[in-house]
Amino acid sequence: MIFLLNIFFLIFGTTLSAPKTTETYSNSLILREPDEFYLYWNYNETDIVIETHAKTSGWSSFGISPTGGMDNSDVVVSWINNDGSHHFSDRHIRGRQVLKDKVQNWFPIAIFQQDDYLITKFTRKIKICDESNEDLDIPEGTPMTIFAYGSVLVDDDIGYHNTNRGTKTVPLINSLNAAPKINLDEVEQVEFRANYTLDKSKDTEYFCTMFKLPVDWAKEKRHLIRYETLYTPGTEENLHHWTVNECGPDFEKEFLKSNSIPDPAFCYSPNWIKALSYCRKISLAWAVGGSIIQDFPEDLAYPLGGSDQETKYFFLEIHYDNPRLKNGVKDYSGVRFYATKNYRKNEFGVFTVGAEESAQGIILPPRAESFKLNYACSRDCTDMLFEQQDEIKVFSTLPHAHLLGKEIYTKVIRDGKEVAYLANNKFYDFNNQYYNFLNKPVTLKKGDEIVTKCVYGTNKKANFTYGGLATYNEMW
């Protein structure tokens, strides 16, 4: 069995309505909503091909930032002059100056205007090893990308006036990087939704609703190969994240003997707290910024039901934010499962590591630019992974912290030595949470330890911050 470490998500093909791309891309993101700047990319072990669509008839720029800001970034700029000539160059930013690189390592493939968009397609090596640092290697995890576009050309070069620019974390070389072929004719779909009116007096809420697998799924195992987050138009800003949690066999054997299924409600009501203790296994998740449709690699699926498996109950937990305390927000968000009896080669599970999300688990002092906390899952903790097999392969992780999280790293320690990163995120952004797919699965062996380091920034906090489930509490 393969385990998916931690929790939450990434990117799939594209459902964006935008200008057509010049080829099919496995990865896509909107860098500026709603339709201002699109990023598409494909990559292999050595090279990456990128296509950007910037809503301008002027110039556009895209690149990688080492620190999150513009300074020291490695960028490309492109434009088309009135005389129809194409311009593309590999540059680096020092201070506010956008200087041409001595050696050009990003190469143009196509530049053209299509309706409102300037389309630029280019390629480069993932690792350039440029000693002058004008070009940066594309790092693992979720590097900070920067982009800009503008309408004014000055002296036949990009102008600073009318510039739109921004930064965004993007899992450039840790995306799924494939659009698995799914034949919807042989896929069964089931939806589970909330039906809830947000409490206007609460800025953050955890809502829970129990559901049961369809009877024939519970009887005969299905392979879950895709799931989709179902939004309610108008409540997008309130939906922060959801998890689907599996109940263990004791939920039916013990809990339901003397209790009824809790009604959909606030998750921390006494009834739910009792029920949840039987259903702690997070199996699927989505968080803001994640892909609406989530696929897995083609040889992997999450097993559901089946006579050999007694779990038939799940619950959906939805975290709502209502910072402006809007009245009467009705939400029907939820999740759609796509499952099949055409079993895939491997099944995966989910394992979560990190701090306890309680006031004892995380305590952050105020006014710290960077406060580091390490969480170890020692041998005793990883042992539970090896009850049925000597090795497991990790194919993906989902780093998760709240607003103060800035960096997240998870390493495997074997015999006192670091052997691999499971997550390597110099940048973590609460508003853009992605699955980090590993290009090569990492093998965990009996006796391994997993150490997670979170770096938090509390410089804007006047008081201590404690672990907890609300967005304004901290978590990892």
| Residue numbers at the binding site for ligand NAG (CB under 6 A) | 44-47, 49, 123, 195, 332, 462-463
Q: 115-135 burial, b for 16+ CB within 10 Å, e for fewer?
A: eebbbbbbbbebebebeeebb
| CB of residue 354 to ligand NAG, shortest distance in Å | 26
Nearer to ligand NAG, 326 or 330 (CB): 330
Q: Which is nearer to ligand NAG, 331 or 449 (CB)?
A: 331
Cβ-based nearer residue to ligand NAG, 196 or 217 = 196
Shortest distance, CB of residue 170 to ligand NAG, whole angstroms?
A: 19
Burial class from Cβ neighbours inside 10 Å (0-12, 13-18, 19+) for residue 183 reads: exposed
- What minimum distance in Å lies between the beta carbon of 242 and ligand NAG? 17
The Cα 91–Cα 97 span in angstroms is: 10
Min dist. Cβ of residue 331 to ligand NAG (A): 10
Which is closer to ligand NAG, CB of 191 or CB of 391? 191
Least gap, CB of 217 to ligand NAG (angstroms): 21
Nearest-approach distance from CB 315 to ligand NAG, in angstroms:
17
Task: State the minimum distance, in angstroms, from the CB of residue 27 to ligand NAG.
Answer: 14
What the block records as the tokens of 190 is: 């089931």
CB 349 to ligand NAG: min, Å:
31
Nearer to ligand NAG, 323 or 447 (CB): 323
Q: Which is nearer to ligand NAG, 46 or 132 (CB)?
A: 46
Q: Which distant-in-sequence residues (6+ apart) come within 8 Å of 256 by Cβ? A: none
47 vs 220 by CB, closer to ligand NAG: 47
Output 47 or 254, the one with its CB closest to ligand NAG: 47
Identity of the residue, 44 or 259, whose beta carbon is nearer to ligand NAG in the bound complex: 44
- Closest approach of Cβ 461 to ligand NAG, in Å? 8
For every residue of the chain, which 3-state class applies, written as one string? CEEEEECCCCCCCCCCCCCCCCCCCCEEEEEECCCCEEEEEEECCCEEEEEEEEECCCEEEEEEECCCCCCCCEEEEEEECCCCCEEEEEEEEECCEEEECCCCCCEEEEEEEECCEEEEEEEEECCCCCCCCCCCCCCCCCCEEEEEEECCEECCEECCCCEEEEEEECCCCCCCCCCCCCCHHHCEEEEEECCEECCCCCCEEEEEEEEECCHHHHHCCEEEEEEEEECCCCCHHHEEEEEEEECCHHHHHHHHHHCCCCCCEECCCHHHHHHHCCCCEEEEEEECCCCCEEECCCCEEEEECCCCCCCCEEEEEEEEECCCCCCCCEECCEEEEEEECCCCCEEEEEECCCCCCCCCCCEECCCCCCEEEEEEECHHHHHHHHCCCCEEEEEEEECCCCCCEEEEEEEEEECCEEEEEEEEECCCCCCCCCCEEEEEEEEEECCCEEEEEEEECCCCCCCCEEECCCCCCECC
Of 184, 176, 159, give the one whose Cα is nearest residue 58: 159
Tell the smallest beta-carbon distance from residue 366 to ligand NAG (Å): 9
Q: Measured from the CB atom, is 329 or 450 closer to ligand NAG?
A: 329
Q: Measured from the CB of residue 437, what is the shortest distance to ligand NAG in angstroms? A: 18
For residues 353 and 450, is the Cβ–Cβ distance under 8 A? Answer: yes
Nearer to ligand NAG, 44 or 358 (CB): 44
